[in-house]
Every structure is written in C-alpha cells, then in structure tokens.
Structure 1
Amino acid sequence: MLQVHASGYNQNDHHARKHTGSEPGSSLRYQTHRETETAMGRKLEIDLQGDELHARWHLQHFRGLATARIWCEIINHSNEPVGLEYVSSLSLYAIGSLPWEKSGRLHLAHNNWYGEAQWKKNSLPELGLEKVNHFSLDRISIENTGTWSSIGYLPCAAFEDTIAGTTLLWQIEHNGSWQWEIGDYRDQLYLQVSGPTENESHWWKKLAPGESFTSVPVAITLVTGGLDAALREITRYRRRILRPSADNIELPVIFNDYMNCLSGDPTTEKLFPLIDAAAEAGCEYFCIDCGWYSDGEWWDGVGEWQPSAARFPGGIREPLEYIAAKGMKSGLWLELEVMGTACQLANTLPDACFFVRHGKRVIDHQRYQLDFRHPLVQAHADQVITRLVEDYGISYIKMDYNINAGSGTELAADSPGDGLLQHNRAWLAWLKKTLDRYPHLVIENCGSGGLRMDYALLQQHSIQSISDQTDYRLMACIAAASASAVTPEQAAIWSYPLREGDREEVVMNMINSLLLRVHQSGHLAELSKERFALVREGIALYKTYRQKIPHLEPFWPLEMPSFTSPWLAFGLRNEQEAWLAVWRMESEQEAITLPVPFVETMTCIYPQAEQRRCQPVLQPQNVSVSLPDKMTARLFHLTFAD
C-alpha cells in the first residue's frame, strides 16, 4: 500500500535503485479503516501500524468521476527520531496485463522551454525496461528536482494497457521536487509515485517522536480507452478542484506587451498606441510586462518593484489610468520569489530570507531565491501586492518565475530538499492568503512559460502561461497539445501577429489561441488594416462561444501533436457540437481525413472570408478537410447527428 524508507533500516529486497522492499514500510500492518462522505465524495482512510511508525493512507474519491486523490501521513510513535528517506504517495502493484513487455505503452509528456506538452508513446522495452528474469534490478524513473516543477516532463504521465484496453493516468500535485517509477517485481509491473526523495532530490526528514509528515497528493484515474480518454477524464477532475474564479468563467481577452512586441522595454510613449490598438481589437485586460521597474537593463536588479521614472515621466499611473480610460483593466508583471544580485534590498536582508546551501546564498541566473517561510519575505511580498493593487489600481498580475533554485535550502531544515518542500508549501499558503485578500485579482502563473505547470499551483491560479515560444508555427503544435497539461480555460496561448507577416500568418496566430485563453500581443498599431481586421474578427468570434469553453472536453482526432506532425488537429466538444482547429504544417498533401464520426454540419468560422472556399467532405465516420497551402490553419464549428 505504501513504501517508506528510513535511515538505519534494512531493505528487504535486492532493490538496487528501486524504491521497493522498503523498511519500515514493508513491516506496516493493517490496523483499522474508516469510510466517510465528504463534500467531494467518498473518502477512505486506512491505518497501518509498525513498531516505530504509524501510517494513515488517504483516498479521496470525487463524486461522478473516475478519479481519486491519494496521499499518506507518517507519524512517529516511538521514543526516538526516525530519518525518513522516501515516502510513497501512491504504490500500485500489477498495473498491466501480461506479458507487460508487449501489452504496455507508456505516455510521457516532455516539457521544455519553447517545447511544452510534447507527448511521446513507447513500449517499456523501447525505454530500456526488459523482461530478463523473475524480476530485474532496472526501472523507468522520471523525476524533477528544484523549483521548476515541470522542467523536462510534466508531473503527469499515463500507462496504456493495450490488451485490457485501459489507460491509467497519474498527476503529481506538487510545486517542487517529485519522482515516479515503473519497474517489474515477481513478473508484474508496479508503479510508485512520490514527492521529494533522498536519492533523487536530496530530501531527508528527521521525524521527531510524536511528529507527523504528510506526503504530496497524487491524482489517479483509470479509464477505458487510450490517452485521449484519460486526458478528458483528468480535465473533468482538474475543473472540479479549481479555486472558484470569475476569470475561469468569463475568459476575458488579455493583451500583454511582451511577446514579439516591446520585449521588456515599456515606456509611456510606446504604450499609448498599443493601448489604443488593444482596445480597438477588443481586448479586456492590458498587462505591462517586465521592465517597468528599471531605467535600463534590469535582469540582476529586480526585487524592489518600484516604477521607473525614466520610463514613465508622468508616473506609472499615467499609462495605467489610460488603460482604464480605454475600457480595459490593467496589469503588471512580477517575479516576486526572487531578488537580483544587484538589488540593494537583497543586501539589507539576512541570509535567512534566501535559499542557502553550503553556507552560501544560492544564485541562479543572477538571482537569489527568496524563502517564503521567513516572515520578512512574506511581509515584503504583502507590501508589494498592496501597493500594486491598492495604490496603482491593477486587476491583473503576471507572476513569472525564471530561475531554478535547485535542490533547496539547508537553513532551518533537515536537508536541502526538506527546506524546499517547506518553502513550496509556504508559497502556496501565501498565494491562497493573497487571493483571499483580493478576490477580484487575477494572478497568472508563469515559469518562463510552462515550466511550473502543476496542479498544486493551478488549483489556485485561474490562468497559466503555456509557452514563451516566439515562432507562431511552432506555437501551433504547443497550442494543440496544451489542453493535455491544463484545462482549456486556463491555457494562455500567445497570438502575436508580426510586423512583416502576411494574412495567413495572422490567421494561424489567432487560431493558435481561439480554443484556449487569448493572450494577445504583437505591434497591433503597426499592422495593415486588413491584418488588424483579422485580429479584431478573431477576438469578436471568440467572445461568441468562450463561455462554453469551461464546459467542453478536449479531443485530438490525429492523436497528440509533435513538431514533426504534417497536420495538427485539436478541438473542444460536447455531445451536440464542437469547435475544431486544423493546421496544415509541412504536409505535401492538400487534404486530411479526420476520424470524427456522426458530423451533421461542419462550417469554417474563421476566417469568415474562407467559409465558401473551405468546404469539408462529411462521411459517417470521418470528415475530410482541404487546405491548399502549407502553413495555414482554419477554425470550424461542427454539429453532431442525434
């Protein structure tokens, strides 16, 4: 049921790198259990007893869903400290049909800067796990260490059993270090999922007598069907656990001046024409991105968050008030968890306010990492938010995070990983408190794009920046996959028409975002009338159906996209209708057949001028779409036969 490694205990099995055969975990025995009905659904608790440790295993089912959340508590009931090295949140045995080396397919969501949510499917032997004996010493281990929770991989994966026709998907709901592994034991496959560990992420916890430790939660779902079906189910669950927010319901259009636009160099003079153009295009928020707090180069000087007099001679309230006068709500960019090495405030704060390892402050990319366990750090953060919201009147914060502070901090902690876990939880508590203080405030989650896409943070944030990708053609692939990482209504995708672009470039830029959250940017004031009209048309169209997006389910007629896919297709649907985006990338073929059955009508709705020229062919089990030119995209509305 769970695995617990502790210092000084023997391991029962020849486990090599595996987290199996643990002690005292293997010696825990059933004591009692309870079933209760909670607001979310049925809850099961099982108490396990050992000589030194007591464990309480939690399974929270969610009413009407095929998904549960699992975690455990470990309590030291001995008279001596116990050193925890590993605690599983989820441990499952026999997860696939035999022979597993033929039946199993592992779906991994590779996630990197400029390349988010790229799913790959492999058999276990293709990933190096072979059937060699009664059991092997090998495993497939995926882990993340540090303050970016989704660098390398999303904290989410799936195992498809092709014989049983089922898919098991798990999601680690933690904003720091985590690890999971699949291996073989006595001919069967097992899955174990954990937060931080000693071997992988320098986590060790000294559990004092009477003290308890709670593991990070893991959501798990089992569905009939493949990855597509599992992602639809986890989308339902993600929506169930979201903090209530008008932003997730109304889906306002946001203009942000950064991407392929001002790129961190805002001034009052530059902003005014952009504000005019954004308002005319139909945007409802205008966010001034990075650079507003420094006269010049600002990277290593961030931390005090005072507006630049050089950039805003009339004060920063001048552009903020102009935004309001144009009928939009205003926003500002922050990176509140760091201070630059050249920030004067950083020199006045004690080391206890920062991550420290080996007696030195941790520095990454000319930034110090603030430790949100410290009251001075929280007071500083509170003061900044109060000034921006109450004095400047902003309604939106882009909360960015552009460093990885590594394994953690040794100060006031049993290990660097222990310090990191405490900080992770302190940041979440501060975020919840801030959103309670200002319930109207929208705080966007960003980590150099999508490097912190986890549902510890995303239960609180209503919107997630998916990617910093600057090429709209590559962004198409990321956009088409983004609803696998977050709910469609949280997935902010840039639309940034280029100064030197053409008509089809504007269309693809808009379609990239029109089924998700529109993150508009680009030099709109410098576009031709025809190209600007396409932006305005796309935003106006979006407003006609956006209220339905939080109730629609994602689907991928061509399976998950990749950067080498010749065609891309992503849609949102219910039983009656669907909105489907189709992109022709570098395909030599002018037409594509999509396995979408029982379509009664299919109409090109963007761009409107293409409605007559883009006539899909409908068959009982599929539809065919023709796009004569490469690097073009169209958005369709579909209705289904009863």
Structure 2
Amino acid sequence: MSHDEIVWSPGPFTLVLSLADGTPRLSRVHLNGQDVVRPATPLPLVELGVVGSGRSWSARRYVDSLAGNRLSYQRHALQADDTELVVTSVDESNGLTVTTTLSAVPGAGALRISSRLVNTGSLDVDLTWITSAIWGGTLADAPFESLRLWWADNDWLAENRWTSATTREVLPDLNWEAHKIDPRGTFARTALGAWSTDGTLPLGVVTDESTGLAVGWQLEHNGGWHWQAGERADGLYVSLLGPTETEHDWYCRLAPGQEFSTVPVTIAFATNGFEGVVAALTAARRYGRRLHPDHTRLPVIFNDYMNTLMGDPTTAKLLPLIDAAAEVGAETFCIDAGWYDDDAQGWWDSVGAWEPAPNRFPGGLSEVLDHIRDRGMVPGLWLEPEMVGVRSPIAESLPDEAFFLRHGRRVVEHGRYHLDLRHPLARKHLDEVIDRLVGGLGVGYLKLDHNINFGVGTDHDAISAGAGLLGHNRALLQWIDGVLDRHPDLTLENCSSGGMRVDYAMLSHLQVQSTTDQQDPLYFPPIAAAAAAAIAPEQAAHWVYPQPTFTDELIAFTMTAGLLGRLHLSGHLDQMTDAQRALVAEAITTYRGYRPFVATAVPFWPLGLPGWEDQWIAHGLRDDQQTLLAIWRRGGDSDSCIVPLPAADVEVLYPKATDATIERVEADGVPAVRITFPHTHQAVVLAVGDRSAQ
C-alpha cells in the first residue's frame, strides 16, 4: 500500500482506492485475475448534491458533483479480519465529514456500502442527492458496445420480468471524438413512494458476454430509490442512490452537528455472468439479514386467501380447511384478510383496530386458533399495520400527527390513512395490537401487508415529503426489530399487494416474502422462476393453490411453483378427493425431504431467465453436490424441449406418477436432456446428480 492508494483484499476480490489528488476515488476492482472495474478517470467514492455547489456538467446525471470532487482524504481503518474498510474524508468548504463503510460478504464477491455525513462546520448544509455508491470504468476491458445491461420490470400480478439490452441500445453513440465531452443522458430506473418495487426491482447487472465478467447491484431501501448507468469517456459509470429531490421530493438540511446516513447498497462481482452475480447477491442476502429459525426450518405455510376464502373467513369455513391442511402436511396455518370485520359495508376502509369479528367466530377466534394448534400447526393472522381505514375508530382516537400529512391535511388513498411510525402514539398502537395477538392469543405467524402507495410521503415534521417518508421507512424497520426482540419466535411475512415492496431493507428484518397476488396458475411459473434473482429462495413464498376441479397434471403444475422456494399453500383441499389430496401431500413430503438444500443453494436458469409469454420455463437450484430443476410447459404446439444439463443421473422427484419422458441428448456439443410433456400444461421437478448430501 502506497501513500497514493488504499488496497483492500477482503476475499475473492481486491479493491483499490486512489488518493493521488487527495480525494478517495474507486480506481480498480480486481476479481480472480481480471479487472471488473477500472476507470481511466476514477470517480469520487461519494458524489453529493450540495445546494450552492452543483455539478461541473449540467445533465440529468448523478455524477460530476463539485462537492464530491472536493472531498479530501483524512484517514481509513481496517478491521482485524479485513472484512470492513472505513474511509473518512472532508469537504472543508461546506464543513461536511463523510465516513464511508465498505463491508465484504465472507467468501463471496460482494460488498455492502453506506456513508454517514456529519456537518462539522458552523453553517447549515443543504443536500439534494447523495450517492450510496458510484463507479466508472465498468468492465473496461470490453468494448462499450459489447456490454449488456439487465434490469427487471415489476408490476402487480406481473412481477420479476427481467430483460436486457446492449449498452448501445439504451445509450446511443453520440460520437465522443467529435464533441470531446460526455453525454447528458443516462439509462435509469426509479421507484417512487412507499412501494419500493412498484414498476421495477432495485437491481441491475452489467455483463460482458464474451468473457463472463459481470457487475451487479442491489439497493436496500423500503421507499424511493434511483439507479442510473451512463457513458463517460472511459466507459460505463453506474450511480446508486436512495431518494433524491428531483425524483422523490427528498431534501436534507444538516444543521451543525447533525448527521445523515445513506441508503445501503450491495455490489456484486462475478466471472460467470448474470448467474454469478445472482449467486453473490444471494450470499449477501443470507449474510446480512437478521438471524431467525425460519430461515433453516422452512415450514410449509397454508394461507386461506388465494382462490379459496378470499377475505371471508368464518369458523365454519376454516375448521375443515384446517383439518385438510394438517392432513397434507402444512405446518403453519394463516388466516388471511377479513377476520377482524363483519361490517356490511366491507372491511377495506374500516381496518385498524384489529379485533376479531364476533359474528365470524361464534365461539371466539381462540376456538379456531386452538384448533390450528391441536392439529400440530402454528396459527397465523393477516395484518396491514401501516393502514387505518377512514371508518376505523383508530382514525378518531389517534391525532393527525400520527398519520401521513401533506400541507397540514391527512393524506387519503383508496379509503385509508397511513400511520407515520415516527410518531410514538402510532408505534404504541401497533405494539399493543401485536402484543395482544401474539402474547394474548398465541399467534406465531403474522402476514404484514401494505396495499396502498401514498405517493411522495409526509411533510409533517420534515423539510420535504420525501424526507418524511424516509424517516417513516426507517422507523418501520426499527418497529419491526422491536416486535421481534419481544417475540423472537414470531415469523413475519412481507407482503405489499404481492411483490410491490420486495427489498432487502425489509427482507433483512422479515423472514418470508409473498412474491405475487397472481391468481392464475398458468401465469405463475415466470414469476416464481425469476423470483430467486431478487429474493433468497428460502424467503420467496410462492402461492400454490390446487383445486378440486384441477386435473392431476394441473395440480402438479401449480404445486411445482413452490417447490424451489417456500410453499405458500392454499386451495379448497377440504373438497378434494383422497387421490387429489395425496398428490398435494406428495409434493409437501418431497419438499420437506430436501428443504435444507433450498436454504443454502443458489439459483440458475438453463433456458435463460423466463419471458412472460415463454412456453417452456426452467429454474433450478444447485450447490457443489446436487441440483434440483423445475420445468414447466405452458401450452404451445411443441411437446418437447431440450434443456442443457451436465452429464449426470436424472430422477423425477415430483410427481412420481408422470407420463413425462426424459432422455439424455447432446445439443451443440453440450450435454442436455430432452423433456417431453404430452399435456399442454405440465411440470416436473428433477433431481440431477448426487442427492446423498441431503
């Protein structure tokens, strides 16, 4: 290590910070003998928009800030095991001290970055944006035109739709030689409001398909964020940010002595392309989350909602479902929406008190919960904690300041108010609800939903609505930790109209993620197959809702969606024949036999990431000793598909009784299997290679 650079080698990669001009700049990331980041003109470790400073080049790009380029290196520190590097720098003209922490994920090519800004000067400092991470020279050894950028569109009922384009398809060639100056444009993805994944996932990947080198990223925030990729003279830069003034009405004024912390991000490096980045991100997701027994136990969850009771639970409807769920092997039974309301006007705009509806449960809700426990399952309930309906008594008992406000008025959306968890009375109300349900009724599982996006946030007790939302976002995570501190055996599911808040701010605290609200089993495979790119498989709960009207092939088709993640079982099991229930039970027994593998394996896609209309979809999990692969046929004229697979034994795990055929072939010189499904909608789960390590 010279006086002009900091060299950090925490594991598979080496990171170099240049100090040549006094400003810490990311100058190189070296992985397994190859450079994945190497700009000719390194960017500052942190770029920031300070009012009164601005940028050196006017553009819609979060780069080239004067303040960032003024940061002067002060010191750095390494942990004894080299897993953490802390770099401190100062912008003396604004009196800002910036401390950036880079934490490596042990054994993986991934690191987590966040910064803390402290006003150590004598005047207020106003900030309009701050990068959580930024770097230039991405995959600099490859021609710019050969780089491929990956992102995922994410909409209600149509989650996890990955796509890609070459950098030149999204960043046109402007003939740099003719102008000798950088472009003004970028390719960007942004989430707005309280739904962090409404429209797009907080992920991106850049690959060089000729070499397999790849860089990916994940923004870990449960509100608004922004990432952008753009061209500079020395190649592709990537800038990752939490909320900004332009996109999110976020603004920060630091008085002397005050501080602000950026949204954390994780960056992953790989030499084996997109799947290598996902493997590194999966390791980071597992390493960075709160410890909880659910992550290794992976109990099978029955939830009464999807295509079953649909928000209308009663004792009479639940008891036979409970018996049937226990019979097929479910281990948790969650009563979903509607348990708290018997109002003729409906429950949507009256939620908030979370008291059992007596007319639904003549013997009391405890009778049903006791029956769940008597059948050997953990009882669960659905909650939407941040919501209070306009007709709820809680709307009157709490002051305006406990809710989102804008311009002094309560924000209303679709008949609901939104609690502001910065307010002590809002937190007190929810703590009392949780403690009553868990401590009083013995509930061991809570599904926490969030079905309304309230826009930019709340400007009460905040300089801007975006700043108020960020405060609430962080208070929500603190509240969740408080719940789990008091009730460590409680399992919490994250849901937001399915997959509208799928981020690792939430999932580093909550144990399970509902992946979608999609009710059509034929649309579920692309959602389930691609989910593992965004969620650790053991946290990804996929609805499987077999019905008495389904053929055996369709029962197996829908059950397969949950077998490489978390089984989120529903359906009228109580109305099925014994043979149909046996087919469901077979899937659960099979899953329970290998679920420890799900909690440690990494995903892959031998047919590529699924397209929304793809007729054949393949998604697998693997480790050094074994591979499981789910394959679906979703219509079309062709009854067979060739899937690249290593030369090894192939066994059908589920369903055992199948008319599918599998034969070993070679395709383009690569070992493969030909799968033939005689039915237009059919699926199997295969075991490939040695499964003895289970």
The verdict on a shared fold, with TM-score over 0.5 as the criterion, is: yes
Structure 2 distance, partners of 1:454, 1:641, is 32
Question: How large is the Cα RMSD of the aligned pairs?
Answer: 1.7
Q: Show the counterpart of 1:231.
A: 278
Note the 1:275-290 alignment, pairs <5 A. Answer: 275-290=322-337
Q: Deviations over 1:363-419 (max 9, x none)?
A: 122111100011001100110001101111110000111011111111111111111
Structure 1 distance, partners of 2:162, 2:143, is 21
User: How many residues were matched structurally?
Assistant: 638
Q: Secondary structure in 2 aligned to 1:319?
A: helix
Is 1:457 matched up with 2:499? no
Structure 2 distance, partners of 1:641, 1:439, is 33
Residue from 648, 654, 677 that aligns with 1:627: 677
Q: Secondary structure in 2 aligned to 1:300?
A: coil
Q: Deviations over 1:329-373 (max 9, x none)?
A: 100000001101111211221111011112221112211110001
Q: Show the counterpart of 2:78.
A: 35
Is 1:468 matched up with 2:468? no
Structure 2 distance, partners of 1:489, 1:41, is 26
Q: Residues 162 and 614 (structure 1 numbering): CA distance in 2 closer, same or farther, change over 3 Å?
A: closer
Structure 2 distance, partners of 1:525, 1:401, is 30
Q: Show the counterpart of 1:603.
A: 651
Does 100-109 or 555-564 show the bigger shift? 100-109
Does 423-432 or 225-234 show the bigger shift? 225-234
Q: Show the counterpart of 2:431.
A: 382
Residue from 452, 476, 485 that aligns with 2:534: 485
- Is contact 2:72-2:90 (8 Å) kept? yes
- Is contact 1:96-1:103 (8 Å) kept? no
- Is contact 1:575-1:640 (8 Å) kept? no
User: What's the CA shift for 1:268?
Assistant: 0.5
Structure 2 distance, partners of 1:130, 1:339, is 51
Q: Residues 258 and 348 (structure 1 numbering): CA distance in 2 closer, same or farther, change over 3 Å?
A: same
Is 1:503 matched up with 2:546? no
Q: Show the counterpart of 1:637.
A: 687
User: What's the CA shift for 1:245?
Assistant: 1.4
Q: Residues 10 and 400 (structure 1 numbering): CA distance in 2 closer, same or farther, change over 3 Å?
A: closer
Q: Show the counterpart of 2:31.
A: none
- The TM-score, its normalising length taken from structure 1, stands at 0.96
Q: Deviations over 1:53-84 (max 9, x none)?
A: 22112211122111000111222122110111
Residue from 82, 89, 111 that aligns with 1:68: 111
Equivalent position amino acid for 1:217 in 2:
P
Residue from 529, 534, 557 that aligns with 2:583: 534
Q: Residues 238 and 290 (structure 1 numbering): CA distance in 2 closer, same or farther, change over 3 Å?
A: same
Equivalent position amino acid for 2:675 in 1:
V
Structure 2 distance, partners of 1:444, 1:247, is 11
Is 1:139 matched up with 2:186? yes
Q: Residues 625 and 231 (structure 1 numbering): CA distance in 2 closer, same or farther, change over 3 Å?
A: same
Q: Show the counterpart of 2:93.
A: 51
Does 249-258 or 42-51 show the bigger shift? 42-51
Structure 1 distance, partners of 2:208, 2:416, is 45
Residue from 556, 574, 578 that aligns with 2:623: 574
- Is contact 2:193-2:456 (8 Å) kept? yes
Q: Secondary structure in 2 aligned to 1:608?
A: coil
Note the 1:151-550 alignment, pairs <5 A. Answer: 151-296=198-343, 297-550=346-599
Runs of 4+ in 1 over 4 A off after TM superposition: 98-101
Structure 2 distance, partners of 1:300, 1:641, is 51
Q: Deviations over 1:34-56 (max 9, x none)?
A: 22236x92334242443222211
Structure 2 distance, partners of 1:99, 1:229, is 18
Q: Deviations over 1:512-533 (max 9, x none)?
A: 1111100000111112222221
- Is contact 1:129-1:140 (8 Å) kept? no
- Is contact 1:97-1:103 (8 Å) kept? no
Q: Show the counterpart of 2:7.
A: none
- Is contact 2:139-2:213 (8 Å) kept? no
- Is contact 1:256-1:520 (8 Å) kept? yes
User: What's the CA shift for 1:129?
Assistant: 4.1
Structure 2 distance, partners of 1:462, 1:411, is 31
Structure 2 distance, partners of 1:143, 1:37, is 38
- Is contact 1:511-1:635 (8 Å) kept? yes
Q: Show the counterpart of 1:79.
A: 122
User: What's the CA shift for 1:26?
Assistant: 2.2
Q: Secondary structure in 2 aligned to 1:142?
A: strand
- Is contact 1:31-1:49 (8 Å) kept? no
Does 391-400 or 590-599 show the bigger shift? 590-599
Unaligned 5+ segments in structure 1 are none
Is 1:23 matched up with 2:70? no
- Sequence identity percentage: 40
User: What's the CA shift for 1:159?
Assistant: 1.0
Structure 1 distance, partners of 2:217, 2:480, is 25
Structure 2 distance, partners of 1:282, 1:348, is 43
- Is contact 2:67-2:91 (8 Å) kept? no
Q: Deviations over 1:19-41 (max 9, x none)?
A: 22213222212222222236x92
Q: Show the counterpart of 1:88.
A: 131
Does 436-445 or 623-632 show the bigger shift? 623-632
- Is contact 1:129-1:183 (8 Å) kept? no
- Is contact 1:42-1:63 (8 Å) kept? no
Structure 1 distance, partners of 2:63, 2:634, is 46
Q: Secondary structure in 2 aligned to 1:245?
A: coil
Q: Residues 637 and 384 (structure 1 numbering): CA distance in 2 closer, same or farther, change over 3 Å?
A: same
Structure 2 distance, partners of 1:615, 1:65, is 35
- Is contact 2:88-2:97 (8 Å) kept? no
Q: Deviations over 1:405-449 (max 9, x none)?
A: 111111111111111111111110110111111011001111111
Q: Show the counterpart of 2:49.
A: 5
Q: Secondary structure in 1 aligned to 2:561?
A: helix
User: What's the CA shift for 1:187?
Assistant: 4.7
Equivalent position amino acid for 1:27 in 2:
R
Q: Show the counterpart of 2:26.
A: none
Q: Deviations over 1:79-111 (max 9, x none)?
A: 110111011110101113377541221100111
User: What's the CA shift for 1:489?
Assistant: 0.4
